[in-house]
Structure 1
Amino acid sequence: MYETIELTKQGRIGHLVLNRPKSMNAMNGTMMKELADCFESLLQDSTLQVLIIRGEGRAFSAGGDIKEMMDPENPMDIELVMKDVSRLAKALYTLPQITIAAIHGASAGLGFSMSLACDHVIAEENSKLAMNFIGIGLVPDGGGHFFMKERVGVPKAKQIIWAGQTLKAHDALAKGLIEEVTAEGRGLEQAESYAAEAIASPLSAKLASKHILHQLKVKELEQVLEMEAKAQSAMRKSADHLEGIQAFVEKRKPEFKGV
């Protein structure tokens, strides 16, 4: 059904796997559209009550696919992509399931925005978590501003976004960005354990609380997504973004000019 992701169901628990392991699950246009379609389909799925999201291979997701962004012959349609990214973020935030992100390896850029949108984030201790859009002259998208602010508040969100640092799992836990740290190789196991506990709890009541708390914020998320899309389209045309991408490809330190 999908090219870049896999959705399986075991009773009331669903598993969504990002499945571009050769690219460290970098999100190309196809994956962004498929994730948006998948989350929107789950909005109507009353059979599932818990969803575990993870990446195949060495990483959760390295973020947006820079190779596709750079492809001169088939350039990424930024307007279309931002529509899919906005659909993805809104649907994920409003899912009628408990969502669990099981992170190993890298969770960066849009991959990290998606992790932060989940109800419960588990990261293996050596995983690398990064809201690193600033490094290529971009702003967070996929609701990154909203989810970061929800977790740590505006002042800390600004500092983390502006720094663009790569955080180890224990640093992210200390900052309030994630809920749990596990030993290497134990992230999925812990996610399954958390899912089993959720299934054995008064889950309808938990999901009702999630609905109440999240519905209050949906309009704000929609506004953030609209502003992110406009800002991202503008930033992609900036000299700093072109320099950031070029420096990334050439593996050198970028020289930004603030334009």
Structure 2
Amino acid sequence: MAYETIRLEREGRLAQVVLNRPNAMNAMNDTMMRELADAFEELKEDRKVQLVIIRGEGRAFSAGGDIKQMTDPESPMDIGKVMVDVSRLAEALYTLPQVTIAAISGASAGLGFSMALGCDVVIAEESSKLAMNFIGIGLVPDGAGHFFLKERIGVPKAKQLIWTGEVMTAEKAKSLGLIDEVVPDGAAANHAKSMAGQLLKTPISAMIASKGILHTPKLEELRSVLQLESDAQQAMRQTADHREGISAFVEKRKPIFKGE
């Protein structure tokens, strides 16, 4: 399948999914969300691939949802359709029959951070900035952000990160258990590929089987979270706080929220 905003590259038992909108810091427009879902569903059917690296082209992993498209009156983002693709993306990622590694450089925010947290191993460079920052524009995490945060750090800490939208360093994220390794700047992609090479020399089929055993019983919970996120996100998109958050972001000022 040909893709416009991502690349899906295969090399034997290794595949790489590369977010490829570098001029937009790999912000996810509706096309990228759909293509990521399609790529993960394609990989679900590829039993030759045993390991998948997810990374961003250029200076960022992903800055999150494309706010420029959210505010474009000529090509508005259809939130209903988008949430279908976001849910497809998250479920396909969680159920991939491969070991997944996120290689983060630069920003990993919003939906980009949700996707990274959905991977089995998360590597980030020292100067990376990581944030579940939906709250800044009056939205809730999507892409199973609630589910993946809870899986990694539990409900109380997940709520705090969601509610504050804190922008974290890689070291802070590692100390919380959100990511697994911190590497020097510029090293994430090569480190991920080196790790992949080592894992492919192990009994990786057994690792994949264990992943399936651990993930499968939680699939219904994941689907429930995705539906709740979709409903909440569509509701939040209609709020005055969301409109204020978007306006403030575009105008580069501090938002004034009123809880409306």
Q: TM-score range by the shorter chain?
A: over 0.9
Which letter maps to 2:167? T
Distance 2:203 2:217 in 1: 22
RMSD after superposition = 0.5
Partner of 1:45: 46
**Structure 1 residue 170: deviation in Å?**
0.2
Distance 2:121 2:195 in 1: 9
Distance 1:258 1:141 in 2: 20
Partner of 2:14: 13
Structure 1: 4+ residue segments shifted above 2 A: none
Q: Give the match's secondary structure for 2:142.
A: coil
Distance 1:186 1:8 in 2: 19
Q: Which runs of 5+ in 2 are unaligned?
A: none
Partner of 1:82: 83
1:169 aligns with 2:170: yes
Partner of 1:112: 113
Partner of 2:225: 224
1:56 aligns with 2:60: no
Distance 2:15 2:210 in 1: 20
**Structure 1 residue 8: deviation in Å?**
0.8
Distance 1:204 1:193 in 2: 19
Q: What are the superposed Cα offsets for residues 199-224 of structure 1, whole Å, 9 maximum, x if unpaired?
A: 01111110000000000111000000
Which letter maps to 1:223? S
Distance 2:175 2:6 in 1: 31
1:158 aligns with 2:159: yes
Partner of 1:183: 184
Partner of 2:127: 126
**Structure 1 residue 73: deviation in Å?**
1.7
Number of aligned positions between the proteins: 259
Partner of 1:29: 30
Q: What are the superposed Cα offsets for residues 159-206 of structure 1, whole Å, 9 maximum, x if unpaired?
A: 011110110000000000000000011111110111011101111110
Distance 1:9 1:42 in 2: 10
1:240 aligns with 2:241: yes
Q: Which runs of 5+ in 1 are unaligned?
A: none
**Structure 1 residue 255: deviation in Å?**
0.4
Distance 1:156 1:112 in 2: 16
Distance 2:256 2:11 in 1: 50
Distance 2:9 2:44 in 1: 16
How many percent of aligned residue pairs carry the same amino acid? 66
**Structure 1 residue 118: deviation in Å?**
0.2
Distance 1:62 1:51 in 2: 21
Q: Give the match's secondary structure for 1:52.
A: strand
Distance 2:148 2:195 in 1: 22
Q: What are the superposed Cα offsets for residues 116-169 of structure 1, whole Å, 9 maximum, x if unpaired?
A: 000000000000001000000000000000000000000000001111011000
Distance 2:12 2:96 in 1: 17
TM-score (norm. length: structure 1): 0.99
Partner of 2:150: 149
**Structure 1 residue 74: deviation in Å?**
1.8
Partner of 2:73: 72
Which letter maps to 2:44? L
